[in-house]
Amino acid sequence: MCISILFIDNLSRKTPLEEKIDALANAFETLVELVLEIPKNFDKKLSNMYQKLIDLEIKIDNLKSGSNVIKKRESRQIITPQPPPPSPSDVPPKNKTPIQSTGNAYRDLVNEFKEYAKRRNELNKNNK
């Protein structure tokens, strides 16, 4: 009885070679997991950089629009003598109404957004 218990106990113990193989397998699994995480981390970093780029573009646009407002304010502060109002026959006809010019500006903005979206999609396709 005692011999059979010792025999079973010996079978359940691992040899040093088996322990080394198990340790190597664990190390290999860890290495594979790390390698598989590289694309995920790269995509996260790339999307963070892309978001920062978008934020910078928005800030630059805001600065540009702010500088235009300042220029308009400065030009309004300069007092110049007003010329006499033109006679009705001297006034050229207006080509665009304010609504048309606003619509054109809106259309230009939408076209810029479409181009931006195309570039973004191309970058995403190239990254995949």
> Tell me, what DSSP letter sits at residue 3?
H
35-44, 49-58, 87-96: which has the minimum mean pLDDT? 87-96
Res 66: pLDDT? 77
Q: Quick check: 46 and 127 in contact, CB under 8 A?
A: yes
Categorize the per-residue pLDDT at 75 as very low, low, confident or very high, splitting at 50, 70 and 90: low
Please provide the DSSP assignment of 74-119 as one string.
HHHHS--PPPPPPPTTTSPPPSS-HHHHHHHHHHHHHHHHHHHHHH
- Judge whether residue 79 has pLDDT over 60: no
Say what angle helices 16-77 and 98-127 make with each other, to 10 degrees. 160
Q: What is the pTM of this model?
A: 0.36
Categorize the per-residue pLDDT at 107 as very low, low, confident or very high, splitting at 50, 70 and 90: confident
Categorize the per-residue pLDDT at 68 as very low, low, confident or very high, splitting at 50, 70 and 90: confident
- Judge whether residue 106 has pLDDT over 90: no
